[in-house]
Amino acid sequence: MRLVGDNVEMQVIPARQALSLAQEMGLDLVEISPNAEPPVVKVMDYKKFLYEQKKREKAMKAKATKVVVKEIRFGPNTDDHDYEFKKRNAEKFLKEGAKLKAFVFFKGRSIVFKDKGEILLLRLAQDLEEYGKVEQMPKLEGKRMTMFMAPKKTTK
């Protein structure tokens, strides 16, 4: 085995000798790379190794960004005032960096106004063009026509 470690010179020695050397130092023998030829082992404190690994994973998890999806619901016959109000909210969501899911919900027989719903969502996409980009164009799924928008990256 190839033996490495902080207080050990790198050398190729038999497994028993490496294990006895680790025991003399009061440390553990940890296999780092089992597929290498010869396998690489390291003399270290295994509990400390696990602690450092958990600490690294926690730091990586903290750096990961969480995606927030905000929803805005329209009807096929949404009035201009309501549209403007919801558009301002959508603008605020995109500025905050959240993704936007805008959908038109068709109740009962209002499904005959599919084209009105699509026009409404495309108008919203056009109005919010400077704040975000369309990830998914309006698509009808059952009684809902859905469109996704993602915020544009702002350079600081």
For the segment 44-94, what is each residue's pLDDT rounded down to a tens digit?
888 988 998 899 999 988 887 778 899 999 988 889 999 999 999 999 999
Question: Which one-letter amino acid corresponds to residue 19?
Answer: L
Domain boundaries, the chain: 2-61, 69-151
Question: Which one-letter amino acid corresponds to residue 39?
Answer: P
pLDDT (average), residues 133-144 = 90
Using a 10 angstrom Cβ sphere, with 0-12 exposed, 13-18 middle and 19 or more buried, the burial of residue 78 is middle
Between CA 38 and CA 35 the distance in angstroms is 8
pLDDT (average), residues 25-37 = 87
In CATH terms, is domain 69-151 a member of 3.30.360.10? no
pLDDT band (50, 70, 90) for residue 21: confident
CATH architecture of 2-61: Roll (3.10)
Query: Against a cut of 0.85, is the pTM above it?
Result: no
pLDDT (average), residues 125-153 = 90
Helix/strand/coil for 7: coil
